[in-house]
Structure 1
Amino acid sequence: MNAVTEKKPRLTTSAMIASIAGEGQRVKAAPFGKALSELAGKSSEIVGLTADLAKYTDLHLFAQAFPERYFQMGMAEQLLMAAAGGFAKEGLVPFATTYAAFGTRRAYDFIHQVIAEENLNVKICCALPGLTTGYGPSHVATEDLAMMRGIPGMTVIDPCDALDIEQAVPQIAAFNGPVYMRLLRGNVPLVLDEYDYKFELGKAKVLRGGRDVLIISTGIMTMRALEAAASLQADSVDVSVLHVPTIKPLDEATLLAEGQRTGRLVVVAENHSTVGGLAEAVAGTFLRAGVAPRFRQISLPDKFLDAGALPTLHDRYGISTNAVVASIKEWLA
């Protein structure tokens, strides 16, 4: 053996609560916690529950403002969802928060049977959606959209940024029925205010037009799509971005109107497994309507993902801005 061992660079994993914002990017702190607290000041029916994760879902701001309406359920996600259903039966509007991996995988049957089957007015808001933590399969929720889409009557939302979250909170509170919303917490990027955007429950919005490529995106991938579109513009590739914050019910009218425009490559981009998310929902919508554009998908693979630093993982699994640009250039070649 060689007596001199070369030192390899140490791979640092991202913090569980690390922001997904890029260096120098505009952010807003705790948009969910602030929006919910503001709304609760106007509506005494709102209560907040969590499974030992108030600080890491920004619900601690609500707890400080309304301690009598805040309920800490401990590390018991099934109890969290059952209690939320009970509050809803009493006419309250419960917001239940935890991590997406725990809220969906550990509590699925309780959401399905206690909340959704009775169409109870529970708002489930789950942090660390998709690949937004580097902690590996125990915390990475790559299948949450597929699971929640499969529940009858469940509304499913994947916001892009702080503005999306701020505007979604009062709308899902006013909506009568169960809602699952992916949650970005901490210092959340602010992107959509530059596009004269307003969140509307159930509506998709064209953020920019383009003749060569249509990116249909949701969640943080809309941010990546806008960055990729700006980069591709320098190479004379004209990219349109259609943001789909509501995964279920889909805005099929807008999707079909944009998808059937001839001559464009259609790319669906999502921070979710290739199985059961937005891309398959869009493809099904196109197929049923007889719309058949050139279709590609940017998503996470159907596998258990590695642990590591988020920028490294986003490059590895194809959802970084550079990876999106590279994929589109390859498909257009």
Structure 2
Amino acid sequence: MNIREKIEELEKRNLSKYAAFSQKTRGRVSAEEQDEIRTCYMVDRDRIIHSKSFRRLKHKTQVFIKTSSDHYRTRLTHTLEVSQVARTISIGIGLNEYLVEAISLGHDLGHVAFAHMGEEVLQGFLPDGFKHNEQSVRVVKKLENGGKGLNLTDEVIDGILSHSGFSQDMPKSKTLEGQVVMYSDKIAYVNHDIDDSIRAGLLHEDELPKEVIKVLGNTNSLRIDTLVKDCVKSTIKNLNSENIRVSLSYEVGEALNELRKFMFSYVYLGEQLKEERKKAKFILNHVLEYYLQNPHKLPEMYKEIVEKEGLSRGVVDYIAGMSDDYCINEFNKIYVPKFVIY
């Protein structure tokens, strides 16, 4: 018995019967020989961490654009915080930690520069619109590895696709692990964005909804602690009643939802960052228009996508992969005059 098989045996003994067992994976599009040390989900985690798209997350905005402080979250630090929250919840429930980790690390690979402002700009350039979760799937299935993709397992791809949104009507992941990541994403970003907003002077603790704070706690760490423990306890209660889903209790879930709504109205779409959002959209729109008019300037891989899938698709794929810094540099290279000495 090799090391991977020992890990798979440990999964059978230690995990909940509702966990996604590595041995029972729905597999990959292209079949591969199994690794002798790592389970299939461990392999997926490693492929994501070593991808170019993952490295670019360090220069993609979470909420605050081009800040001078090193202490604000980026898309990369957000991803790591989601992973840690999700792993804690999955261990508490008895789910597959390696699957949760792989989904967490890959869930935002398709996010655009300049946070959700970038997503808004790209919305109008594709017939079916642009969603970062769908773009994340496209990254791992097609764009990474020189156009070959990462050939991840179906469970990881499903979890990445299903992580977005918070409505009860949204399609849920087929695995409980994927559902854990969906909740962990919200738990992480609502709380760390409050922390960053207070640091930036855009928000004060006293302005947070008092009824929500009464339920969740009056500090960042207390709120995360409340949400994580509630998710573990509520989900175990569900599973014991044969209700196979991840959830928060009604009171805690409503409190998180209200806090999330508050952040959207007060920070994400609020007046304080309006001018910065306009600048970001201006840059993105102009870079997009340039490449739509000059597709011959695209890198070779994206030229091939233009030929096979159309101009908008190829240009959007290229723009969506840009970090904030790279996008600003492209704008400067295209539109800002250079000094010429005669």
Provide the TM-score with structure 2 as the length reference.
0.25
Name which one, 1 or 2, has greater alpha-carbon Rg: 2
Provide the TM-score with structure 1 as the length reference.
0.25
